């Protein structure tokens, strides 16, 4: 049995390399069309050009020694096998040539292996992929040293094609990838429609809503929608990246469950799993997008007389078990939590029948969870480095997920968030040390929280100190007001802000005074509610000292003030939109 495995590498870096939203959109749409089980995909075009016999579009294709069978074909990766080597070599040769022509700087890894059984060939292929991922890619010069380079990417520049120049932004030279993206931007009519966004759009809304293409002109920010129309809007935006937890675990269990089956049954089992997972991700994305529509849909005039409905988010990636998108800042946290909850339920719904057919033990989890990162920043900040920061935040969330379960178990969903107030090229670790750890040794936030109480999602776990809902409750209690609009909580957001200023000045004693002054004005019930929340948020191995925690082994101190301020600043919008036909009314 021969196997060919292909995976695109560093997709986020490739998408964001120019830093321009229209280039990101065009690149994401092109990559979304690269590998898919449709007749319009680039992979299918390559197969037709090569005259190969495959089951990419027909699962019931009669098998022969020359037939290529696919095990996976989603998310920038595909795995396929054949009884003979020749068709796979032909596919590999034409496929890699096509990539070099259509995506010149896209990094990828592939492997062609042979073994007695399909399982053994897959294992060898994955070993080769792993080795290749850890080997630095050597890029040979494609031009002489004195060549002019495109300032946004540092890559050799070429004269823009006439089609790419239709979107006039004052440039006449870009790198070859950017030129191809802009050609696609025009030829694929991305101003009106794009295939990727349909994966996010709820079924009932297809064809009725549009996604912004320009953050400066199309994107309606919160104070533009609900505030004074003449004021200068605060253009806060969030980059969200969410990735599934436990995919490798389920794939290993799937392989073990099918190890005694025939190669044909194993092949079909993996492909059905890949499809079910992609459907679960799409279902969750649509459910979360429905929330954005309900909360923040708006109308925008077009060049014609008719206005169109738009929502303040822009899909960038949906493939396999992960998504990436841009979203208005005050909608990002709720979108992310809704996606994580919906993904867990949808994966259970799509995968459980599959696992029953495969004979999975009942003790195994029949779902996946998802963890992710949210990077808040100004819309004017370049996105060239943002993807690295949001991927680092996603890694922080996954670390939180793994911290409460044994190896080989699927952990709970978690979200990490950070507010970036300045454009920077620093890594997240350096950025966090500079902005969250003050000179007096106080860490101002813990960044990553579980989306739901562990008692609900993982009943075997007794405590849930990093509970996002508890943190939200503390923000809500600190922001409550009476009927006259007068703030009444024991420690209001204004007091937390004053405490943050005192801590930044190195005066923890003054922060204590501010805290206790608020407590002295509180009722017994208010004090008790605050104490209970702070106790619930106390991690294992720490002792609480009023409003902050001390590590019992290292004496390191940390508090939640930065997290409270970020959540309060990007609070979910209060007003909803109700939609009836083409009319839109806003109500409080």
SS (H, E, C) 326-353: EEEHHHHHHHHHHHHHHHHHHHHHHHHH
Residue whose C-alpha is closest to residue 292's, from 315, 316, 319 = 315
Mean pLDDT of the 430-451 span: 84
pLDDT of amino acid 128:
93
Residue 211 within any structural domain of the chain: yes
Are 349 and 252 in the same domain?
A: yes
DSSP codes, 255-314? HHHTTTS-HHHHHHHHHHHHHHHHHHHHHHHHHHHHHHHHHH-EEEE-SSS-EEEE-SEE
The reply to whether 28 and 129 lie within a common domain is yes
Q: Are 400 and 449 in contact (CB under 8 A)?
A: yes
CA-nearest of 13, 6, 5 to 317 is: 13
The pLDDT of 83-102, averaged and rounded, is 95
Which residue is listed with tokens 């979360």?
288
Q: How far apart are CA 315 and CA 324, in angstroms?
A: 7
The encoded tokens of residue 89 equal: 């070599």
Q: Output 240 or 403, whichever has higher pLDDT.
A: 240
pLDDT at 110: 94
Q: Which pLDDT belongs to residue 156? A: 84
Q: Indicate if the pLDDT at residue 586 is higher than 80.
A: no
Are 328 and 344 in contact, with CB atoms under 8 Å apart? no
Structure tokens at 174: 């870009």
Find the helix or strand (DSSP H, E) in which 470 lies.
helix 468-479
Q: Do 272 and 361 have their domain in common?
A: yes
**Largest Cα–Cα distance of the chain, in whole Å?**
82
Most confidently modeled range among 110-114, 295-299, 583-587: 110-114
Handedness of CA 545, 551, 557, 560 (dihedral sign): negative
When pLDDT is cut at 50, 70 and 90, the band that residue 456 belongs to is low
Does any domain span residue 402? no
For range 419-448, the mean pLDDT: 80
* 110 closest CA partner among 2, 3, 1, 5: 5
Backbone phi, psi, residue 186, to 5°: -80, -50
- Residue 324: what pLDDT? 95
Give residue 267's Cα distance to chain centre. Answer: 29
Residue 578 lies in a domain: no
Tell me whether residue 432 is in a domain.
no
Residues 128 and 201 in one domain: no
pLDDT of amino acid 540: 84
Q: Model's pTM, two decimal places?
A: 0.90
Q: Tens of pLDDT along 270-316?
A: 999 999 999 999 999 999 999 999 999 998 876 665 778 899 999 99
The answer to whether 420 touches 377, Cβ cutoff 8 Å, is: yes
pLDDT bin (cut points 50, 70, 90) of residue 434 is confident
Whether 549 shows a pLDDT value over 80: the answer reads yes
Closest CA to 537 of 512, 563, 568: 563
Residue pair 493/478 in contact by the 8 Å Cβ criterion: yes
**pLDDT above 70: residue 167:** no
Looking at every residue in the chain, the average pLDDT score rounds to 86
Using one digit for the tens of pLDDT, what is the confidence trace for 179-203? 999 888 787 766 556 678 889 999 9
Q: Report the pLDDT averaged over residues 557-583.
A: 73
| Domains: count for the chain | 3
Last residue of a domain, one of 84, 100, 133: 133
Sole residue written with tokens 């991927």: 391
| Model confidence band, residue 485 (pLDDT cutoffs 50, 70, 90) | low
Tokens of 179: 């030129």
Flag whether 325 is in a domain.
yes
Looking at the DSSP bridge assignments, the partners of residue 156 are 149
Question: What per-residue confidence (pLDDT) applies to 585?
Answer: 35
180, part of any domain: no
Predicted local distance difference test score (pLDDT) of residue 588:
28
Cβ pair 452, 412 in contact under 8 A: yes
Q: Are residues 113 and 217 in the same domain?
A: no
Q: How confident is the model at residue 138 (pLDDT cuts 50, 70, 90)?
A: low
Q: What is the pLDDT of residue 232?
A: 53
Task: Determine the Cα–Cα distance for residues 428 and 419; give it in Å rounded to an integer.
Answer: 11
Which residue is listed with tokens 């909608």? 331
**What pLDDT score was predicted for residue 469?**
93
The CA distance from 504 to 506, in Å, is 5
| Higher-pLDDT residue of 132, 510 | 510
Above 70 in pLDDT, residue 219?
yes
Give the residue numbers spanning the domain of 240. Answer: 195-227+234-380
Q: Is residue 550 part of a domain?
A: yes
| Whole-number Cα distances in Å, 380 to 19, 98, 292, 422 | 11, 35, 22, 10
Asked whether residue 203 falls in the same domain as residue 128, the answer is no
Check residue 579 and give its pLDDT: 43
The DSSP string of 135-174 is SPPP---SS-TT--B-TTT-SBEEEPPTTGGGS-SS-SEE
Which CATH number fits the domain that encloses residue 79? 3.30.70
């Amino acid at each position: 049995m021969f196997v060919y495995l292909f995976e695109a590498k560093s997709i986020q870096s490739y998408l964001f390399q120019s830093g321009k939203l229209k280039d990101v959109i065009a690149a994401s749409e092109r990559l979304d069309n690269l590998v898919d089980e449709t007749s319009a995909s680039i992979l299918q075009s390559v197969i037709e050009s090569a005259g190969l016999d495959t089951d990419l579009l027909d699962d019931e294709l009669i098998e022969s020694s020359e037939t290529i069978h696919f095990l996976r074909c989603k998310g920038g990766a595909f795995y396929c096998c054949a009884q003979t080597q020749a068709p796979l070599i032909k596919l590999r040769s034409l496929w890699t040539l096509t990539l070099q022509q259509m995506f010149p700087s896209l990094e990828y890894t592939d492997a062609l292996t042979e073994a007695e059984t399909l399982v053994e060939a897959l294992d060898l292929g994955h070993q080769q992929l792993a080795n290749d991922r850890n080997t630095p890619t050597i890029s040979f010069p494609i031009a002489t040293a004195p060549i002019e380079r495109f300032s946004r990417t540092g890559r050799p520049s070429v004269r823009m094609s006439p089609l790419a120049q239709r979107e006039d932004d004052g440039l006449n030279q870009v790198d070859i990838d950017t030129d191809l993206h802009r050609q696609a931007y025009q030829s694929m009519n991305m101003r009106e429609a794009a295939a990727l966004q349909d994966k996010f759009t709820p079924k009932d809304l297809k064809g009725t809503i549009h996604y912004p293409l320009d953050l400066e002109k199309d994107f309606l920010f919160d104070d533009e929608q609900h505030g004074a129309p003449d004021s200068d809007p605060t253009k806060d935006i969030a980059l969200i990246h969410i990735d599934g937890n436990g995919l490798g675990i389920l794939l290993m269990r799937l392989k073990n469950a099918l190890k005694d089956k025939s190669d044909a049954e194993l092949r079909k089992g993996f492909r059905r799993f890949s499809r079910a997972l992609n459907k679960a991700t799409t279902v969750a994305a649509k459910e979360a997008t429905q929330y954005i529509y309900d909360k923040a849909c708006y109308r925008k005039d077009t060049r014609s007389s008719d206005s169109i409905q738009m929502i303040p988010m822009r899909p960038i990636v949906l493939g396999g078990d992960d998504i990436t998108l841009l979203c208005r800042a005050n909608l990002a946290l709720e979108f992310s939590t809704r996606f994580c909850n919906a993904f867990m339920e949808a994966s259970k719904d799509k995968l459980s029948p599959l696992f029953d057919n495969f004979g999975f033990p009942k003790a195994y989890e029949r779902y996946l969870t998802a963890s992710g990162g949210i990077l808040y920043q100004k819309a004017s900040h370049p996105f060239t480095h943002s993807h690295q920061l949001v991927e680092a935040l996603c890694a922080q969330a996954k670390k939180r997920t793994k911290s409460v379960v044994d190896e080989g178990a699927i952990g709970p969903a978690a979200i990490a968030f950070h507010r970036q107030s300045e454009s920077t090229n620093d890594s997240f670790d350096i950025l966090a040390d500079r902005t969250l750890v003050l000179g007096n040794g106080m860490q101002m936030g813990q960044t990553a929280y579980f989306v739901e109480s562990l008692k609900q999602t993982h009943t075997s776990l007794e405590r849930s100190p990093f509970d996002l809902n508890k943190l939200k409750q503390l923000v809500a209690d600190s922001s409550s007001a009476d009927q006259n609009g007068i703030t009444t909580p024991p420690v209001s957001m204004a007091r937390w802000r004053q405490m943050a200023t005192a801590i930044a000045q190195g005066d923890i004693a003054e922060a204590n005074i501010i805290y206790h002054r608020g407590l002295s004005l509180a009722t017994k019930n208010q004090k008790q509610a605050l104490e209970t929340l702070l106790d619930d948020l106390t991690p294992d191995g720490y002792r609480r000292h009023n409003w902050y925690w001390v590590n019992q082994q290292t004496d390191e101190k940390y508090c939640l003030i930065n997290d409270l301020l970020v959540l309060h600043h990007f609070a979910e919008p209060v007003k909803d939109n109700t939609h009836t036909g083409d009319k839109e009314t806003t109500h409080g």
